[in-house]
Amino acid sequence: MEFCHRPLYNRTEDVKTSIGNSLLFIPCVLIIAGNLMMLIIVLKHKEFGNKSTTNYLIASLAISDLIVGALVIPTAVAEHIAGNWIFGHFWCAVWQYIDATVLVATILTLCAISLDRYWAISDPFRYTQTVTKKHIFIVLTLIWTLSILLIAPPFLLKHRPEYVCTKVSCKCRAILVNQSYAIFGTIVTFIIPLIIITFANYRTYRIGMKQISAVYHEYVPSSSDGGKPRTYIVLKKQLKLTKSTGTPNQFAIAAYHV
């Protein structure tokens, strides 16, 4: 009854606020739905090459995003709506730990994907013979183990409590990290992966451009193979190899169809 006697302006504002708060959860739904579809496509559908070892790295990336969409973002949205921290001391520490761990795992996985694609295009024959599911699972285990271990010290050696309550409200403060560890963590989890990703992607791009350019510029006499490029014949054989091993080389396929 109290709500009915309130001014119309205030009721309208309450409705707008409720709608606005509800819209904040839409990104969570989109992230969860999108990454679930990605996992289904990568792991279930053969037409998308579920035999490719690279797809397991992509699946790991999707799992990281799922954790963010299902746990990290909803908690932050709920805190924003409530105006204070309502989840208690335990989840305050776990929430921050999950957030940081998933972030590091995502960066390291992107680094692994870049190196994987660089190796696949720079030496495709050796790549298809060497890289197996077992190797990829070992890499993924190392990535997640390293992420968990790198984030653990600040939470084990706390310089201040992250969960603080007053008579009015409670807050979940960010974990305070000393300067030395902050520099070490930045170098290991950001600067080094950034350098590796930049180098690997640049080299992948350069090699790919050389392969595609060779299709147009290197020709053999038309009497032997109809005027097709030398690289065309090599890429055609490479395409058959990658189809038989289940590890597609995108640049080889693209150059073959040009």
131/53 Cα distance (integer angstroms): 7
* pLDDT at residue 188 in the model: 92
CATH code that applies to domain 8-214 = 1.20.1070.10
* pLDDT at residue 246 in the model: 40
pLDDT category of residue 150 using cuts at 50, 70 and 90: very high
Residue 123 has pLDDT above 90, yes or no: no
Work out the average pLDDT over 115-126.
88
Cα distance between the two ends of the chain: 72
* pLDDT at residue 13 in the model: 64
* pLDDT at residue 253 in the model: 34
62/58 Cα distance (integer angstroms): 6
Residue-range domain boundaries for the chain: 8-214
* pLDDT at residue 47 in the model: 55
Residue 213 has pLDDT above 80, yes or no: no
Asked which of 36-45, 108-117, 193-202, 244-253 is least confident by mean pLDDT, the reply is 244-253
Residue 18 has pLDDT above 90, yes or no: no
Q: Are 236 and 256 in contact (CB under 8 A)?
A: yes
pLDDT digits (tens, 9 = 90+) for 87-105: 888 898 899 999 999 999 9
Work out the average pLDDT over 149-177.
79
pLDDT category of residue 234 using cuts at 50, 70 and 90: low
218/212 Cα distance (integer angstroms): 11
Asked which of 34-48, 83-97, 138-152, 178-192 is least confident by mean pLDDT, the reply is 34-48
pLDDT category of residue 161 using cuts at 50, 70 and 90: low
Beta bridge partners of 172: 163
* pLDDT at residue 83 in the model: 85
Q: What percent of the chain is helix, strand and coil (3-state, nearest 5)?
A: 80, 5, 20
Work out the average pLDDT over 109-129.
89
Q: What is the 3-state secondary structure (H, E, C) of 164-183?
A: EECCCCEEECCCCCCHHHHH
